Homo-oligomer: A and B are copies of this chain.
Amino acid sequence: MRIIRTIPELHAARAEARAAGATRVGFVPTMGALHEGHLSLLRAARAENDVVVLSIFVNPTQFTDSSDLDAYPRTEEADAELAAAAGVDLLFAPDAAELYPAGYATTVRVAGPLTETLEGAGRGQGHFDGMATIVTKLLLAVLPGTAYLGQKDAQQLLVVRRMVADLGIPTRIAACPTARDQDGLALSSRNVRLSTAERSRALAIPRALEAAAALVAEGVHEVAPLREAASEILAAADVAPEYLAFVVPESLAPVESVTGPVLCAIAARVGEVRLIDNVVLTPTPVPTKE
């Protein structure tokens, strides 16, 4: 595995790989502090490509909360070991001056409900502006055939897909399922900041999602009782959600009943740590008469 710090080095490595016959390039963009969720993305990339590129860059422009940026875990040595073991060929780990040199002035913005609701409302438009811009820059630097993103950041996935389609970036975006710990908590680099007591409270988030899914499986299709059940579980753990949303997965438009796939998404602060999670609810098929 080669560790690469600059875009020209990355281009050279990519050209070298192509000259050596590598045609399929898979890419996993991350902010480091790698966990099993990232590793599952890398496994998907490894299985489908000749060259696997991993980027690690804690992108300052997508943090609208500077204390979150400061506290974001940085574990580059451990990350490099995990990456090498996962079969990464090129680890792109630039510093901020490489990606935002003096005079830098360009932003990629996806407008509308995809960025204004949920995370956009909670973290501010600057979050998705920063994210869309860095992902555009990384995709143009790596030029992968496929980029692998996690379903845990469902809205990020939607925004990236919209931006890639709109600008015509020649990359396919593949979504991978949310990885969870044995206790059900969605894996996140921020989880290490939870105390034991906070972690136990945080489990109310996946349990609330599971409860909604279980009710849908039992034939409850109105959102009101789903919301009530999920809210009660969160409240019992003293977790006040920033949002508990039931929305169309492609448009993020709110729905009142589960007549097709519905994204149920939660954001909540537990202690100092802001957590997000989601599940796609699918209505039980109406039994046909025999």
Number of this chain's copies in the assembly equals: 2
> What's the minimum C-beta distance from A74 to chain B, rounded to whole angstroms?
24
**How many A residues touch the partner, as a band?**
20 to 34
- Asked if A285 CB lies within 8 Å of chain B CBs, one says no
Q: How far is the CA of A99 from the CA of B116 in the complex (A)?
A: 23
Chain B: minimal CB distance from A125 (Å):
12
Of B11, B105, B162, B168, which contacts A140 at CB under 8 A?
B168
Q: How far is the CA of A163 from the CA of B108 in the complex (A)?
A: 10
**A114 part of interface (Cβ distance < 8 Å):** yes
- Other-chain contact of A168, B7, B111, B163, B167 (Cβ < 8 Å): B7
- A162: chain B residues within 8 A (beta carbon): 103, 105-106
Give A110-159 interface residues, CB cut-off 8 Å to B: 110-112, 114, 132, 136-137, 140-141
Q: Would you list which residues of chain A between 62 and 109 have a CB under 8 Å from chain B? A: 103-109
Contact among B105, B137, B163 with A106 in the assembled complex (CB-CB below 8 Å): B163
A112: which B residues are within 8 A, CB to CB?
105
Q: Is the CB of B105 within 8 A of A167?
A: no
Q: Is A170 an interface residue (CB 8 A)?
A: yes
| Closest Cβ–Cβ distance, residue A98 to chain B (whole Å) | 10
Asked whether, in the complex, the Cβ of A110 is within 8 Å of the Cβ of B114, the reply is no
What residues of chain B lie closer than 8 Å to A110, measured between beta carbons? Answer: 105-106
Determine whether A174 belongs to the interface, using a CB cutoff of 8 Å to chain B: no
Tell me how far the C-beta of A244 lies from the nearest C-beta in chain B, rounded to whole angstroms. 25
A169 contacts B by Cβ under 8 Å: yes
Q: Are A166 and B7 closer than 8 Å at their CB atoms? A: no
- Give A151 Cβ to nearest chain B Cβ, in Å: 21
Residues of B close to A11: CB separation below 8 A: 170
List B contacts of A141 (CB < 8 A). Answer: 168
Choice from B111, B140, B170 contacting A167 with Cβ under 8 Å? B140
Of chain B, the residue at the smallest CB distance from A99 is B168
Report the bound CA distance from A7 to B132 in whole Å.
Answer: 22
Q: How far is the CA of A182 from the CA of B64 in the complex (A)?
A: 56
When C-beta atoms are compared, the residue in chain B nearest to A250 turns out to be B103
Query: A107-B111, A108-B108, A140-B169 known; 16 other A-B pairs, CB under 8 Å?
Result: A7-B168, A103-B162, A105-B112, A105-B162, A105-B166, A106-B108, A106-B111, A106-B163, A107-B109, A109-B109, A136-B167, A137-B167, A137-B168, A140-B167, A140-B170, A141-B168
Q: What residues of chain A have their CB less than 8 Å away from a CB belonging to chain B?
A: 7, 11, 103-112, 114, 132, 136-137, 140-141, 162-163, 166-170
**Which 5 A-B pairs have CB atoms at the shortest separation, nearest pair first?**
A106-B166, A140-B168, A105-B112, A107-B109, A105-B110
